[in-house]
Amino acid sequence: MRMEALTARTSEVLGKQIHWWILGAKVVYNSIECSLRGKVFSKIYCQRTSRLSLNIDVTIGEQPADNIFGLCELTLTSKGQRKMRPLKGFKLDLCHLKRNSKTQSLLGSYYRALSRAAVNLPARCPFSKDTNILLRGLILDQEIPQYLPEVNYTFKGKFYANNELGLEVKVIGGFYINGSDSNL
């Protein structure tokens, strides 16, 4: 009896993975919160323009900004489960955005999405004072790894310039299978 239950569960998981692979998956945004910290940046504006798209506007403060990067955390919660799996300490380096966009990895796909959405982003650091960094229509349309089930996520990023905390961003959303009736 126990083996039958295990086999049924394995078939269910494999069926979802095949369904996931055939139909693809989307990254959706449910909410975004941004807040200034310190005086490195003078303005921040964040907006969810749709379930699939974000706009983020940041203005550099009175001093040029060297070494702009974010220390980020991504927490995944499987649908129907309480167990959370945090991915902590990954770094998004805006000074090397173009170089990192060429990396063939999941993180590289995030860099490619940032590159596509970037408007008025200087080619390299330092960023001059009063520079506006605009991300328009930020869509994460990379392939989601097949081993990930439908999940909700929370992304938290602390962004630094000149080694000083400048802003915090929190995005809540989910991954869902195209064509599913998921309410992530």
Determine phi and psi for 63, rounding to 5 degrees: -110, 145
Q: What is the pLDDT of residue 171?
A: 94
**Other Cβ atoms within 10 Å of 38 Cβ, number:** 13
Query: Measuring CA to CA, which residue among 31, 23, 34 is closest to residue 51?
Result: 31
- The per-residue pLDDT for range 8-63, each reduced to its tens digit, is 433 343 333 333 333 466 888 999 999 999 899 999 999 999 999 999 999 999 99
Write down the domain spans for the chain.
24-177
pTM summary value: 0.76
CATH number at 24-177: 2.70.220
Q: Give the full edge-to-edge strand order of the sheet including 53-60.
A: 41-50, 53-60, 132-138, 118-119
- The per-residue pLDDT for range 102-120, each reduced to its tens digit, is 666 667 777 788 888 888 7
Band (pLDDT 50/70/90 cuts) for residue 145 is: low
Cβ atoms of 183 and 175 within 8 Å: the answer is: no
Amino acid 89 reads G
User: Cis ω on the peptide bond leading into residue 122 (within 30° of 0)?
Assistant: no
